[in-house]
Amino acid sequence: MFLIKTRFRSDKNVADAKLKKTSLSTGVFMTVFIQKQPDFRRLGISAGMIENGFKDLLLRMAVVVVSGQGKNGYGVYYDYDRRGQVREVRVESMRRVVVTGMGAITPIGLSVDGFWEAVKNKEIGFAPISCFDTEGFKCRIAAQVKDFVGKNYMDFKAAKRMELFSQYAVAASKEALADSGLDVEKEDPYMVGTAIGSGIGSLQAMEREHRKLLERGPGKINPLFVPLMISNMAAGNVAIQFGLKGKSINVVTACATGTNSIGEAMRAIQYGDADVMLAGGTESSITPVGVAGFTALTALSDSDDPKRCSLPFDKNRSGFVMGEGAGVLVLEELSHAQARGAHIYAELAGYGCTSDAYHITSPAEDGAGAARAMENALGDAGVKPGDVTYINAHGTATHHNDLFETRAIKKVFGDHAYEMKINSTKSMIGHLLGAAGAVEAIACVKELQEGYIHATVGYETPDEELDLNYCREPYTESITYALSNSLGFGGHNASLLFRKWEE
C-alpha cells in the first residue's frame, strides 16, 4: 500500500505528491501537511473530513489535486480489491497522446487529402445555397458539402437510419480508422472510445417532422424521429458502425464542440479510461430555420459574392458563412501506437478550456476567457508562450469575435504576438459550427507535418486594432507547435496545442 503525503503550495492550492511505501493498517491514516488552507469546496471535500482522518476521502482529494497538474505530467491511479477497498495508489507520469489517423468531410474536399490540397490551392467552398429556396432570405450563400453520397461510406440501410450530420461523422471516422491502420478486432473494444460532438443535431429532421405534425397530425411522425435528431447520435452511430465499446460521449459547446470533444478524448486517454479515442465534431445545419436563426442574430454575412463573403480579421468583414461537414482524429496513447507500429502525425500536448460567464453570444470584450484557455493549454503542455509561433484562430469574420480574439492573443503572448502567424481556415470552408474545431485541428496537424501555414483567403484590408499577422499569403516554414482556438456561444472557450512529432 502507498501512503500519499500531500503538501499544498501557498501560491496555487495544488499538491506535491510524495510516496512512501508503508502498510495501511487499522488506525494509520493519511497525513496532510497544509501551509495554507486550500479551497476544499472547489475539490468537493470539507476540511472536517480531513481532520477526521478518512483515508479514502484523502485519496480522492489527492487524485483531484495531483491529477490537475497536467503540466507537471502527473497522473494518480488507484486499484481496488473485490470489496471495493483501495488496494494500491500510484502516481505515474501522465500518458502521452498522439494523432495516428484523420478523416474529413468538408465543403472543399471529401477526404483529408482532398481538403488539404484545396487549402493549399486557396480554394473556397462558398456558393449560393442549393438545398432550399432562399427567396426572401437576407443570407443566400453557404459552404455546403458537395457530391456526398452516404451509401458510399456505409450500408444503404444504415445510411437511411441516419441524418446527414451522423452520416458525415461515420464517413470521416471510416477514413480516420483506415488511415490509422488500427484493427479494432485485435483491440479490447472497451478501451476504444468515441468523442464526437454536434452542436445542433438534425435541424432537417426537426423541420421535416414539424411540417408533418402541422399538416398531417401527430400520428404521422416518424417513429425514429428522436434518435435521428438528437446530437449524440453522431457518436452513437460511429460506435455502432465500428464496434467501439469504450467511453462514448457527445460534448455540446456550440462552436467549441469539436475542440472540446478532442480535448476530453485526450483526457480519457491520459487518465487510462481508453487507449484509443475517435474524436472530433460534425454538423449539417444549412436549413431554412438554421440560416434564418443565425441571420436574425446578425451573425451571418449577407454578401452575395462568394469571394468576399467570409473575411476573417479583415476590416470589411460582415459576419460568418455557415458551413457543414465533419472532422475526426484517431487519438492514441503513445506506447500503444508505437507497439503496433502506427504512423504518428503529431502529439496532442495541451488542452485548456474556460467560460466567459459574460454573454450568451458575445465573447468577453477583453478576451480574458479565451486568453485563459490558451494559457491553460500551454501550461498543460509545459510550453512557454514564446515557443509558440502559429495559431489557427477561431476567426469567424464577425466583428466581435475577431476583435476580442485578437485581444486575447495579445493578452497571452504580449509583444511576441506580433511575431506570430495567425490564420483562419474559415476563410475557405466557412463556419462548420460543431465540426469547426475538429477540421481546423486537422489543418493544424497537416501544417505541422508539412511546414506550411495556409493563407487567410480573402484577407486584404487591415483593421485598426487587428494589427497582427493574419497570413495574407501562405508561409513555408518549420513550426514546432500549433495552437487551435474555438469560441462558442454561451461563453465556451477551448484551445488545443499540437506538437510536431519527431522520432
Q: Which residues contact 115 (CB under 8 A, 6 or more apart)?
A: 104, 106, 108, 109, 439, 442
Q: Which letter does DSSP use for residue 186 in this model?
A: G
Instruction: Concatenate the DSSP letters of all residues of 121-185 into one string.
Output: TT----EE--SS--TT-S--EEB---S--GGGTS-HHHHHTS-HHHHHHHHHHHHHHHHHT--GG
Instruction: State the chain's maximal CA–CA distance in angstroms.
Output: 78
Catalytic entry in 139, 309, 353, 394: 394
Catalytic entry in 309, 353, 431, 444: 431
Catalytic, 255? Answer yes
Give which of 119, 150, 185, 205 is closest to 452, Cα–Cα: 119
Question: Cα 290 from chain centroid?
Answer: 22
Angle CA 398–459–102, to nearest 5:
80
Catalytic entry in 139, 255, 353, 471: 255
Catalytic, 394? Answer yes
* E strands present in 439-480: 452-453, 475-476
Q: What is the chain's length?
A: 503
User: Are 391 and 447 a contacting pair, CB within 8 Å?
Assistant: no
Question: Cα 48 from chain centroid?
Answer: 38
Catalytic, 353? Answer no
Query: What gap in Å lies between CA 23 and CA 1, rounded to an integer?
Result: 6
Residues catalogued as catalytic: 255, 394, 431
